[in-house]
Amino acid sequence: MSVSTAAAAQSVCAPLPVLGRDVTVPLVTGGEVTYAALDYAASAPALQRVWDDVAAYAPYYGSVHRGAGYLSQLSTDLFENARRTVAEFLDCRADDQVVFTRSTTDSLNLLAAALPAGCQVFVFETEHHASLLPWQDARVSYLDAPRTPQQAVQTLERALADRDPHGPALVCVTGASNVTGELWPVRELAAAAHAHGARIVLDAAQLAPHHPVSVQDLDVDWVAFSGHKLYAPFGSGVLAGRADWLRAAEPYLAGGGASRKVTRRADGGVDVEWHESAARHEAGSPNVIGAYAVASACKALTEAGFDTLVARERHLIDTVRAGLAEVPEVRVLSLFGDDAPRVGVISFVVDGWNSSHFAAALSAEYGIGVRDGLFCAHPLVRTLLGSDPQSQGECGAPEAAPGEKSLNAIRVSFGAGTPDEHVERFVKAVKELVRRGAKWQYRTEEGRCVPVV
């Protein structure tokens, strides 16, 4: 992006207002500073718009689907309208189902529970644990980490060509890596899956907050994402896509709401007729506030315009990457190379530093919140670090097994609510820490690196 383009992106789109944007935190060296939340990949702050919408609805809170009163009917309409809003946001097909869940993890475990008998699952080792681990009751083929998008497609095609062509198969792939931020070739992987008679589910937890996601354009069968990464509060998620496997499966949870009819049998047992709609997998009183919050976030991002949001985020990415490139001791982790398109997620290691120590110093001395560790993507981070593990630093890493060198990284992530000042402060802090070292002493306490007080 040129300087003029970057400036235009800044002027066209100011950061979207988020909760916590004015929160101040104490520095171990004295004084306070406005907190720089640069851990969006774990949980993005809620949009102020979302919080205001939820607060406006709260006095009208009522039971959903089973109440005759006005507030119950209002809440039911709100819940079902949220389902339609999410379907529009994802550009779902007319006959797709939108199931509200707790998170991406919950969504993918729901789909795993709905797999047809004998289904074979193909998943790259580079996935977040939420999409790597739910399939262990199925026949799983774990695919090696590719080093280019083209290699990813070729690896999948070879694996699918060797499968039983008569049984069901599912491919699970991320849209954007939660470690490197790199975009995956979802459309090409979907084409490869379908060419070999397989279906595909997209883990859009890191993609949906940054880029438009169209089920139809990408030609994926299902999409899963979490509200807390999409600028909504914790506790809500979505699984959207084809209805047939979901309708054929036993309910994810058995209980009220999932059942349409329950009768006693002569032998004393019960017969159950389950719903065929999304309600089949939404037993119990639904999280109407969570669903409404997700829908509000979908509307806010759509109204802000993804073209503008993407342009501004590219400016932030360029600022961080250019700053880190000026520090020889910093190595940015990547699968696909420096030129790969990416979202605002960047992981790196610093020569001579334990990553937990570095992250602790960023927080305690600069008021900057980042993430350190293996980011719930242990196989991927270990692959990226390869035979170049960090030396043990002043503080230990809780992820290191007994006798193993510290093997962890630092992740900085940002999005629609990030001010320029936060990434500029981060780049300045990295340079100062590498050049001058930490100003404070740190120690390991309950698995975390903390300042000595």
Active site positions, annotated:
376
Determine the Cα–Cα distance for residues 182 and 186; give it in Å rounded to an integer: 12
Determine the Cα–Cα distance for residues 441 and 393; give it in Å rounded to an integer: 12
Q: Which of 410, 293, 401, 399 is nearest to 346 (CA)?
A: 410
* Cα separations in angstroms, 55 against 28, 45, 101, 201: 35, 16, 21, 34
Environment class of 448 (CB within 10 Å of its CB; exposed 0-12, middle 13-18, buried 19+): middle
Amino acid at 74: L
For residue 127, give both structure tokens: 């996935």
For residue 392, give both structure tokens: 């043990």
Phi, psi of 93 (to 5 degrees): -70, 160
Question: What torsion do the CA atoms of 31, 36, 37, 38 make, to the nearest 10 degrees?
Answer: -130
Determine the Cα–Cα distance for residues 439 and 429; give it in Å rounded to an integer: 12
Indicate if the alpha-carbon torsion angle 369, 375, 381, 385 is positive or negative: positive
Q: Which of 108, 76, 75, 101 is nearest to 228 (CA)?
A: 101
Place of tokens 């605002």: 344
Determine the Cα–Cα distance for residues 178 and 176; give it in Å rounded to an integer: 6
Place of tokens 């993804």: 306
The terminus-to-terminus CA distance of the chain in angstroms comes to 44
HEC string of 45-98 equals CCEHHHHHHHHHHHHHCCCCCCCCCHHHHHHHHHHHHHHHHHHHHCCCCCCCEE
352: left (phi over 0), alpha (psi -120 to 50) or beta: left
For residue 447, give both structure tokens: 């698995």
Phi, psi of 369 (to 5 degrees): -100, 115
For residue 285, give both structure tokens: 């009183």
Indicate if the alpha-carbon torsion angle 396, 401, 405, 406 is positive or negative: negative
Amino acid at 147: R
* CB-CB contact of 300 with 50 (8 Å): yes
- Count helices and strands (H / E) in the chain: 14, 19
For residue 232, give both structure tokens: 């909504």
